[in-house]
Amino acid sequence: MSCTTAACNPYRIALFTCYRDVPNVTLIEGTSIITNTISLAGECTKCKTRYHADHEDYKPVGGNFTQECFINSACYLKIGSNLWANHGFTKAVYSGMYYFDASASAYLQFRNDNYGKSGKLIKLGRKQICQAFIQESIRTVAQATGEQFEARQNLNIDNVCIYLLLFSTSFEH
87-99 and 126-145 helices, crossing angle to 10°? 90
Which positions of the chain have pLDDT values less than 70? 1, 116-121, 171-173
Containing 151, the helix (H) or strand (E) segment is strand 149-152
49-72 tens-digit pLDDT:
999 889 999 988 888 889 999 888
d(C-alpha 94, C-alpha 23), whole Å: 27
Arithmetic mean of pLDDT over the chain:
85
Closest CA to 14 of 58, 60, 48, 55: 48
Containing 106, the helix (H) or strand (E) segment is helix 104-115
pLDDT at 171: 60
d(C-alpha 22, C-alpha 45), whole Å: 19
Strand segments, DSSP code E, in 50-145 are 50-51, 55-58, 67-70, 76-80, 83-86
> What values do phi and psi take at 47, rounded to 5?
-100, -5
d(C-alpha 36, C-alpha 130), whole Å: 24
